[in-house]
Structure formats: structure tokens, C-alpha cells
Amino acid sequence: MAAFSSFQVPFDPLSEQVFVNEVRVMDSAGKTISTGKVSDYYVLDDRSGAEASQKKVVNIPVPGLEPGCQLAVIISRRQVGHLDEFPFLVHSFSCTVPVRESILFLRGETRGLKSIASPEMEPRRVPEGQYWRVVDPMVGRWEPQQPAAAEFLPMIWVADASAHWPVLASNYIASISNRLEPDASIRDHARSLVAGLQNNEAKIAAIARHVQSNLTYKTIEFGRRARVPNKPADIVRNKYGDCKDHAVLLQQMLEAAGVPARLALVGHRGPVLKELPSLDQFDHMIVYVPETGRFVDCTDKGADAAHAIPIGLAGRDALILEATNPHFETIPSYPENASGIEVQRNLRLVDMADVVTEETLTLTGVHAAYLRDFLLQIPPTSRRMMLQRQMGMADVELSDFRAEPLDEPDAPLQLRCTYTCKKQLHRLNDQLTGILRAGFERSYLTADPVDNRLTPFETTIPLSVHSTVSIDIPEGFRAEEAARLVPQLDSRFAVCKGQIQLEGRKLKLEFECRQPKVKSKASEYAAYRDTMAQALALLEREVVFKAVSR
């Protein structure tokens, strides 16, 4: 009942209109019980994707639904504007609830189309058009660490058979050519930024940093009705822009500084299907520098844009928009040292129960970029509260918090904080015992529980964690020898080690964990969770302090 009490229909207001033609609830005999009302429907921002965009969702409540009823919902879409080719169609046969069969039917003349289906299936032709049918498709539900839906759900992609990549790219470049005309003020400004710099590496870094820090990112996803950027002079005057504006300004300034650069189209939603040429496969624009082979995305406000792999795009294909030779290049995959977290945590006991912690967390690479960008989007007065919630530390008393430097994306990000964990140690007769709770790194080492996992999972960013934890031994007590742990880790998911030893009046724990990039089956998720739980156990060690006889 709950699953069908309302429908959510995503759409792009820049390129399409959605019409709710019918919402009708019937009894088992087919008699109408209730119908939907337009006044009850409402529109919200679509927040389902990893990237913010202009997309919306129509919410359609279903009135009067009861067990045993039949339900009819008819929705139609209208593409806005003139279509030069059939719009790229992506369809999943899965639903969030079990269905007996799922059918995609294309009405009309379909001989000018071509398609790719996964799993492979041939369309069935009828006089009115053609259709594809999947019996008992798998349920499409969200689960943590899920890869792109196209990698595991039954899907179909349909495109115009007459389309060709060189023609599409050349036509697109021609359509924005008046936005790419050299501007004297932009040229002079670019040259002033690189004056005195001796090599192109330094020039790329200086110009990328300038664009990254001087433009505010306004998220309008690259799409059929949002493909034309502003002119560079207008972008500079506005001091804001979407991905196209960031890319065009960066490309023009690099060219003016003597660094060859090309615009590039990329997609966050999944791999590009090169067999089905269509610009609708792309949702983002960045810049490609042929000399270095690097891709630069100045909308990544938390990353070292000149050197970092654009966030969320590692290993993806990019369409390079060269007028004479449009072609594909592959964005590099993340290296083994893509991300690192160093933790220094000092603990002291208060009132024989509470633990006061002074912690320094130093992040580098991709995780530093993600967290810096997250913090930059939050008002300074709310950062402490939001970070506690994000890191699963809402139950501690955070008395001091600093994150720096937020305005230097090429530097490591440091979080410094002081917090109190209540009743962490407990006294029984002459002993104090408790668990050394992990700090902010805990959120990176925890695998979320999933009941009866259905979908594959992946770790996309290699991560290394190194934690050094020291706790002052309370006056009048001595530390008992810690139990020796011998974890049985699955090296596909993590390689870890941890040891605890006595150093004077301190107990010191050293912990290291390396998580590689990996793709795994749903059936392996239990082994993954078990490995991460054992890894965390190496960090969250039990300590025992025994009173010293006087």
C-alpha cells in the first residue's frame, strides 16, 4: 500500500513538460472509487543524484487506495523545442516493487532508431511500432555503495540511427562558436595571471585556481535545452556560472596564455555508449589539456582542480570537442594513493568515566576534496553541527572545532576538534574498563547494514587510513596487557594492522588500514561487512586499568 500511495516522476523543466493524464483507483470489478486531483500534485527539486541540477520531481498522491484495488496511472511527456534527432532514451525495466512484467512500447515509425539492451533482447514488432518485454525484472532499490544502475538493472537505450559523433560534435561547436570568440579583456587578464611563469604546468595551475575561486557554481546540468554557455566577458562580469561557463572561461584563458585546451563533454550517470551517438548522454562539461593529458573541472571547489581527477568521473570517457578531430579520451582512474586520512587522537579520563579527546584529522586527495566542498556549502555557524551528523558523532559533546584551510584546495585539509564522550569507562571493584571509541575516521570504516542485499557494490576510491591514539593512564592505576587480536580479513576489501603498547604513562595504539578499489557481487557483501567490522575492532580496542596497591 505504501509503495503505491504516491508516484514520483522526475523531469527536466528546461527540455520537457509532464502531463498527468489520469490517476484512477478502481475496485476489483473495475468500478471507479476515486480519481486524482491536479490541485493535490506538487513539484520539488530532484535530489536523487550525486550532482545538484535543475531537475524536478512531480509528486502524485493516490487517493482512496485500499487492498484489492486496481490502479491506473497515465503520464505523458512533451519534448520542448525543435528536435533535430530522436532524443536519447534510457529506460529501466525495474521498479521499486516486484512486478510480473515490464514493457517499453514505442509507437510510430521506428525504423530510424537503433538500440542496445542489457541483458541482450530483440524488440518485438507490431503494426503500431515495437516493444521490449522483461518478465519478473529484479527490484530496483537503493543500496549503499551501489554502482551505476546500468551495470546491474535490465535496461534499454534507444537513439537516432542516423547520428554520428563527428557530426554531432562539429554541429555543437558551430552552435556555440559565437561564445568562443577571443575577447581582448579576457586575453589580457589571462596573460597578467601567468606573467613570469616559465612553464605550462604553472600556468594551468594559476588560471585554474583563478577560475575556481572567482566564479560561484550555479548548477544547471548540461542537457538538450541547456547547452549554450554565456560569453566569457559576461561570465566574468556575473562572477557565477554553470559547468559550461566555468569550462569556456577556463579554456579561453588557457588558450590566451599559450596553453592549448579543449572543451570536453562527460557524463556522471554511467559509461558512454559509443555505439549510440547522442549528446544527451552527457550532463557536464570540463576542459582537456592535450599537452598533459589532464582533465580540469573548476566546478570542483574543494579539489586541486589543476591536478586532481575530476570528482565522480575517474575512468569515464570524455568527448573532446575539437573542430577538425572530435574524439574520445579516457579520464584516468584513481591511483592507489588517491585518498589518505591521518589521525592523531589524544585521550584523557575525567571523573573516572568520561573521556576528553583532542583530535587532529588530516585528509588528502579525493576525500579531502569531498569534505572541503561539503563544508564550503554550509554556513560557518552550521558546520560543527552538520559535520557531527555527517560523521556519525552526534552523541559527543563537541567543544571546539576548526577546519582549515578551506580556501586552499591544493593543501591538505585539517580538522581540529575537542570533544567529550560520556561514560566511556566503567569501574568494577579495582578495575576501570572501556572501549577506545574511534573518532571521525569511523564513518570511513563502517559498512552499512543491508537486509538481503540484491545489487552489486563497489569501493570507487582507494583509501588509506593511519591513526595514532594515545590515552593517559589514570593516576593510581596501571594498564593491563591488551588482548592480541588476529583478524581474518578478506584482502579484496581491506588490509589492516593494529597494535597497542605501553609508553611510559601512556597507552599508545597504532592503526593502519588500506581499502583498494573493488567491484563485488551482492552475495559478497556479508564478507565485506565482516572484514570492515574486524578492521574497526583493531581500532576500537578494549582497555583495562587496574588500581595499584598502596
Say what the pLDDT of residue 109 is.
87
CA distances from 423 to 420, 441, 472 (A): 10, 21, 16
Residues 499, 379 share a domain: yes
CB 183 within 8 A of CB 231: yes
Burial (CB < 10 A; 0-12, 13-18, 19+), residue 545, is buried
Say what the pLDDT of residue 226 is.
76
| CA 148/CA 270 separation, integer angstroms | 6
Say what the pLDDT of residue 483 is.
81
Arithmetic mean of pLDDT, 487-492: 94
pLDDT at residue 462 is higher than 70? yes
Residues 502, 435 share a domain: yes
Among 155, 138, 144, smallest CA distance to 96 is for: 138
Residues 362, 276 share a domain: no
Among 443, 444, 520, 48, smallest CA distance to 268 is for: 48
Q: pLDDT band at 223, cuts 50/70/90? A: low
Q: Which of 311, 330, 349 is the endpoint of a domain?
A: 330
| CA 407/CA 401 separation, integer angstroms | 17
CB 298 within 8 A of CB 212: yes
| CA 100/CA 134 separation, integer angstroms | 9
Residues 267, 172 share a domain: yes
Find where cell 588528502 sits: 364
Q: Which of 270, 302, 330 is the endpoint of a domain?
A: 330
Instruction: State pLDDT tens for residues 425-440.
Output: 898 889 999 998 898 8
Say what the pLDDT of residue 82 is.
57
Among 222, 220, 219, smallest CA distance to 278 is for: 222
Kind and range of the H or E element at 366?
helix 366-376
Residues 373, 498 share a domain: yes
Q: Beta 463-472 vs 339-350: how paired, if at all?
A: parallel
Arithmetic mean of pLDDT, 209-230: 83
Amino acid identity of residue 122, one-letter, is E
Coil, helix or strand at residue 543:
strand
Residues 6+ apart with CB under 8 A from 198: none
> Which neighbouring-strand residues pair with 398?
419
Residues 364, 506 share a domain: yes
Which cell goes with 454? 540484491
Residues 121, 65 share a domain: yes
| CA 48/CA 185 separation, integer angstroms | 40
Q: pLDDT band at 239, cuts 50/70/90? A: very high
Say what the pLDDT of residue 13 is.
85
Say what the pLDDT of residue 224 is.
61
CB 353 within 8 A of CB 423: yes
Q: pLDDT band at 352, cuts 50/70/90? A: confident
pLDDT at residue 422 is higher than 70? yes
Arithmetic mean of pLDDT, 408-426: 93
Query: Comparing 2-16, 229-243, 259-273, 348-362, which segment has the lowest mean pLDDT?
Result: 2-16
Arithmetic mean of pLDDT, 455-468: 96
Residues 290, 177 share a domain: yes
Q: How many domains does the chain have?
A: 3
- Give the mean pLDDT of the chain: 91
Residues 6+ apart with CB under 8 A from 31: none
Q: pLDDT band at 16, cuts 50/70/90? A: confident
Q: Which of 160, 188, 214 is the endpoint of a domain?
A: 160
| CA 211/CA 261 separation, integer angstroms | 15
- For residue 65, what are the domain limits? 2-160
The more confident residue out of 265 and 269 is: 265
Q: pLDDT band at 409, cuts 50/70/90? A: very high
CATH of the domain at 398: 2.60.120.1130
pTM of structure: 0.87
Q: pLDDT band at 49, cuts 50/70/90? A: low
Residues 56, 41 share a domain: yes
Instruction: State pLDDT tens for residues 106-143.
Output: 988 888 999 999 888 889 999 999 999 999 999 999 99
Q: pLDDT band at 83, cuts 50/70/90? A: low
Say what the pLDDT of residue 227 is.
87
The more confident residue out of 86 and 358 is: 358
| CA 207/CA 190 separation, integer angstroms | 7
CATH of the domain at 88: 2.60.40.3140
Arithmetic mean of pLDDT, 414-424: 93
Residues 377, 514 share a domain: yes
CB 434 within 8 A of CB 474: no
pLDDT at residue 220 is higher than 80? no
Residues 6+ apart with CB under 8 A from 163: 85, 276, 277, 278
Kind and range of the H or E element at 184?
helix 184-193
Please give the share of the chain, as a percent, with pLDDT higher than 70: 97
Residues 6+ apart with CB under 8 A from 417: 358, 359, 361, 398, 400, 401, 402, 440
Cα atoms in the Cβ-side hemisphere of radius 13 Å centred on 29: 2
| CA 204/CA 187 separation, integer angstroms | 15
| CA 366/CA 101 separation, integer angstroms | 41
pLDDT at residue 222 is higher than 90? no
CATH of the domain at 307: 3.10.620.30
Say what the pLDDT of residue 77 is.
81
Which cell goes with 35? 480519481
pLDDT at residue 52 is higher than 70? no
Q: pLDDT band at 81, cuts 50/70/90? A: low
DSSP 475-490: TTEEEPPPPPP-----
Say what the pLDDT of residue 447 is.
94
The more confident residue out of 360 and 2 is: 360
Cα atoms in the Cβ-side hemisphere of radius 13 Å centred on 188: 4
Find where cell 560520556 sits: 422
Among 423, 410, 413, smallest CA distance to 387 is for: 413
Termini Cα distance of the chain: 69
CA 270 vs. chain centroid, Å, equals 12
Residues 317, 237 share a domain: yes
Residues 6+ apart with CB under 8 A from 358: 345, 346, 417, 418
CA 267, 273, 278, 283: dihedral to nearest 10 degrees?
Answer: -10
Say what the pLDDT of residue 550 is.
66
Residues 36, 97 share a domain: yes
Among 314, 340, 313, smallest CA distance to 444 is for: 340
Instruction: State pLDDT tens for residues 291-348.
Output: 999 999 999 999 999 999 999 999 999 999 998 999 999 999 999 999 999 999 999 9
Among 175, 197, 217, 231, smallest CA distance to 311 is for: 217
CB 363 within 8 A of CB 373: no
